[in-house]
Amino acid sequence: MAKKEATPNMVEQFAEFKELKNIDKTTMISVLEESFRNVLAKMFGTDENLDVILNPDKGDVQIFQNLQVVPDGEVEDPNLQISLSDARADDDPEAEVGEEHTKEIFFEKFGRRAILTLRQTLQSKILDLQKAAVYDKFKELEGELVSGEVYQTWSRETLLLDDDKNELLLPKSESIPGDFFRKGETVRAVVANVDNKNNNPKITVSRTSEAFLRRLFELEVPEIHDGLINIRAVARIPGERAKIAVESYDDRIDPVGACVGVKGSRIHGIVHELRNENIDVISYTSNPSLFIQRALSPTRITSIRIDEDEKKAEVILRPDQVSLAIGKNGLNIKLASMLTGYVIDVYRDTDEESVEEDIYLDEFKDEIDEWIIDALKNMGCITAKSVLRTPREVLIEKADLEEDTVDNIIRILSAEFED
């Protein structure tokens, strides 16, 4: 009868742990068994001779103690041994000395203290499991977009709660200047770092990282999400300005146009999310000279010299283009350097004649094939004078052009400056 009375109590113990999130059934059974064994080991000194059989769905828990049968009067450790007469009296009339006798133990007979200890042990292990599950989940989400509801704001950080009530910390340093959050407001950010010091997961999110801008573009531009357009580089000064370089794997798709959208429809939502951060979208190229030119847009460059080993670029500009290249508070040139990976130095073109009379190569498209103009621009020659100042042999080698083609280019360009 004792066994029948005990079962409901055990069902009640499991009920509150049965529907826990992030813990699968197999793990739950393992935790229950381990909890039982830990408590039993303290009570009996060991759990090596104990079998714990669990069925959490039904609440069935059976504990069996395996004891060695010894002659009467020779029991030295009742937790490991049982006398022959006791074994035969315990439903095993054919027991013999030296054999193993299995005795069922009813946990509830050990009283409320034992059950309380079991509950506390179980709660502690489940809490550890839940923390581990949260850590594993968000560790895999580092760099990914998440959202949470503002729960509380302090001077140095804001606490967000996601749909599962997990705590996300948004430090002031990871917030965009101008961010102001109200309690209950939904905020988007990327998971920046997940720490698990002392088995206490700390999830830090960011709205200032480059990854945040990347994820917003993936969200707003289907071609990026589908892999037709790739984001090659991102540079940000949060709350001020950003540059993003994109390329298309499909010649029919204009990567810049797709990212901006009709009348800016796609980029508008991103700019709003970033507190009106200005975003320049440029087309990526593996040619460093051309990439730097595009990164400095809308500046019109006279010429450019590249040192690929030192990752440096010297950009020659007309005087009226210098301030445009540098930008307000130096933002344009700083972002261009961040985007391209080159240290960019700007120099004024001191040749007054060249400043007044020079002509951009694009003006010669009626006389020179566009692919030839692109080849010249790729080597840093943007204007007619910059081509004419470059030695003929260098033009042949670096632009990979035939001698006759180079001679024809020089003839066409020189004619523009003859009186």
pLDDT score recorded for residue 269:
92
The yes-or-no answer to whether 2-136 and 210-282 have a common fold is no
Contact 241, 213 (CB under 8 A): no
CATH of the domain spanning 285-350: 3.30.300.20
Contact 278, 328 (CB under 8 A): no
Mean pLDDT by 10 residues, the chain (419 residues): 41 53 70 85 88 74 90 92 91 90 84 82 85 93 96 95 95 94 96 93 96 96 95 96 95 93 92 94 92 90 87 89 89 95 88 60 86 84 83 88 92 81
* N-to-C CA span, the chain: 120
What is the spatial distance between Cα 160 and Cα 189, in angstroms, rounded to a whole number? 10
pLDDT score recorded for residue 39:
87
What is the spatial distance between Cα 370 and Cα 119, in angstroms, rounded to a whole number? 79
User: Would you kindly state where each structural domain of the chain is located, as residue ranges?
Assistant: 2-136, 147-208, 210-282, 285-350, 352-415
Classify domain 147-208 by CATH architecture: Beta Barrel (2.40)
Tell me how far CA of residue 320 lies from CA of 148, 300, 324, 356, in angstroms.
Answer: 48, 10, 8, 11
Give this prediction's pTM. Answer: 0.70
What number of residues does the chain have? 419
pLDDT score recorded for residue 56:
63
Find the Cα–Cα–Cα–Cα dihedral 56, 57, 59, 65, rounded to 10°: -40
Q: Which residue has the tokens 């700083």?
A: 334
Q: Decide yes or no: CATH 3.30.300.20 for domain 210-282.
A: yes
Contact 169, 204 (CB under 8 A): yes
CATH match for 352-415 among 2.60.120.10, 2.40.160.20, 1.10.760.10, 1.10.150.20: 1.10.150.20
pLDDT score recorded for residue 58:
66
Q: Domain 2-136: state its class.
A: alpha beta
pLDDT score recorded for residue 54:
79
